Structure 1
């Protein structure tokens, strides 16, 4: 899965996808978008990988979004509309994904971070939806992601001004879960990923589905759907192993079955 501009590594049950174009603030080219999609597909297909960390190389940027210099290659707006979207690939990953945001998360980079399930930020991180400064708006879930994360007014502030917010503001608004020192960012991401990877994988993947449904369903329907998902998990071998391990006072051994 690795290419010169994207690194894909697996350490035990944790995969790390690193956007590796620091000289261009890890801006995503069409080839990088395809590599991201391929890496996510590899994670989805694996019974070994149980959590994914997505980050950017260097300390300056997580991702500055799509490489603007490549956008004129699309011959029509419709071709641009139907291009492969790396944010979609990240959002639809079946495994839990942690964004480790180091430096700038701009435009599609912010959308990519919001496509992850958990967001951690280094103290030097900055977040912005700057598309309005260039004459368009985000198209990878910017408005929906920000409105869900930080509320309508704060989302409007970011989208309509295009101006950045710092890590402390992102934390206070609920855009990220934690802010850590830059040299602790990946260590903290790996700590959380290791905890998630130790949990029952079918339950973790189902919880991800459930969290998304909770955003999109009326409350009573969401509770009903959650109960159905709980029943599915309860019927797995892993759930039986969890109950047995509890009774026997030993650590469970989950096998994603």
Structure 2
């Protein structure tokens, strides 16, 4: 349910469970974490999905087995944030719930116009992943972070772009092409140059 394509220094990980809106099981999360940890060797990691949603978050059946509090969520987002190369979330549709963690950990977020972002932890009675509120606040500011986490608002792509949660909104047929375009300079540079510039941006 997680596809991995490698093209030199470019790795593309695709969530492929469209019949369940790419909702995440523990096995899927572990696989994504393994990919992110191994991608220390890559120059660019792109995360995307198949179907109309990037991910609806946690699988409802998996929620009954303790997945909401599993450390694998934080393992995944920590591995993405630690990448010395460029990480891009190419959102083919809505991102919800725990799936926000890996998206917030990416360096860039591009999305299709239909994409929305929401993180209904208040309504569901869960705490967000430990590092997510700080990452979200750095992107959109404290009031807007509360709008998402405490008021449970669904943020449209247009609003997300204005807030700085999304960096670019593109047509669906241009999503991966745009991600590859954004990756081009990083792919052409040496790993040392890439890591050096990324370090200056932290």
Fold shared by both chains (TM-score > 0.5): yes
Q: 2:100 aligns with which of 102, 105, 110?
A: 110
Structure 2 counterpart of 1:92: 82
Distance 2:72 2:132 in 1: 17
Structure 2 counterpart of 1:138: 128
Matched, 1:55 2:48: yes
Structure 1 counterpart of 2:39: 43
Larger Rg: 1
Q: 1:68 to 1:90 in 2, by over 3 A?
A: farther
Q: Deviations over 1:182-227 (max 9, x none)?
A: 1111110011112221123212123333333xxxxxxxxxxxxxxx
Distance 1:82 1:40 in 2: 15
Q: 1:24 aligns with which of 20, 27, 30?
A: 20
Structure 2 counterpart of 1:70: 62
Could you tell me how far 1:82 is from its partner in structure 2? 3.8
Contact 1:104 1:126 in 2 (8 A): yes
Contact 1:108 1:140 in 2 (8 A): no
Contact 2:101 2:132 in 1 (8 A): yes
Matches within 5 A, 1:169-184: 169-184=159-174
Q: Deviations over 1:91-145 (max 9, x none)?
A: 2223211110121111222221111011111111100111212112311533112
* Root-mean-square deviation (Å): 1.9
Matched, 1:195 2:191: no
Distance 2:37 2:132 in 1: 23
Matched, 1:123 2:122: no
Could you tell me how far 1:12 is from its partner in structure 2? 2.8
- Give TM-score, length-normalised by structure 2: 0.91
Distance 1:97 1:121 in 2: 14
- Give TM-score, length-normalised by structure 1: 0.73
Could you tell me how far 1:157 is from its partner in structure 2? 0.9
Contact 1:130 1:162 in 2 (8 A): yes
Q: Which has the higher contact order (CA 8 A, sep 6+)?
A: 2
What count of residue pairs does the alignment treat as equivalent? 201
Could you tell me how far 1:83 is from its partner in structure 2? 4.3
Contact 1:111 1:140 in 2 (8 A): no
Structure 2 counterpart of 1:7: 3
- Match of 2:61, SS? helix
* Structure 2 unpaired stretches of 5+: none
- Match of 1:161, SS? coil
Distance 2:138 2:159 in 1: 16
